[in-house]
Amino acid sequence: MNQDRYIFSTNETFLDFEFESDGPNGKIKKGVSYSLRNAGGITFFNLAFGHRNEETKELDDKAISDNQDRDKILSTVAATVIEFTTHFPDIPVFAQGSNQARTRLYQMEISANLAEIETILDVYGSNKGRWERFRRNVNYDAFLARRKQN
């Protein structure tokens, strides 16, 4: 997490974040959006991360920017989680990639920075539908994180 990351902006709700990927294919706008939802009586935020389509101005996950900055992008998304949970510390954040490969990227990012992340967040992984404290070298299909409770 002490690696490079992009500077990001947010709006007055602190639910939406934007930053620009900068690489061989130019500057490409990315967005992270947190949506408040409820499942089984428990409130959570869902994290959606994608490329901003400059024609529609909407987020999608279809584009592959190939800007050779994957780790920097993932670090930036992780930094938005840290920032976001300063504003909403009591509500868990759910994250799952759009496909298995992208979920695996999230897992790699968490694994690489677990010691630092765990100073701030409690992180859980779903292993075939069973939640457990996040551990390295376990393949997960989704993640939940919440600010450490004092």
Partner 1 sequence: MATAKKLIAKSPVVSDKVRHYGNDPFVLKKNRKAKAFLEKYGFPKEFTSGSSQKNRGKI
Report, in Å, the least distance between residue 71 CB and partner 1. Answer: 15
101 binds partner 1 (CB under 8 A): no
Report, in Å, the least distance between residue 130 CB and partner 1. Answer: 8
Sign of the torsion angle spanned by Cα atoms 85, 35, 92, 62: negative
23 binds partner 1 (CB under 8 A): no
111 binds partner 1 (CB under 8 A): no
Other CB atoms within a 10 A radius of the CB of residue 17 amount to 22
Cβ closest to partner 1, residue 67 vs residue 146? 146
Report, in Å, the least distance between residue 20 CB and partner 1. Answer: 12
Could you say which of 20, 23, 50, 70 contacts partner 1 (CB under 8 A)?
A: 50
Binding site for partner 1 (CB under 8 A): 1-2, 5, 7-18, 31, 33, 35-40, 42-44, 46, 48, 50, 52, 57-61, 79, 82-83, 86-92, 94, 96, 98, 115-117, 119-120, 122, 124, 126, 129-132, 142, 144, 146, 149
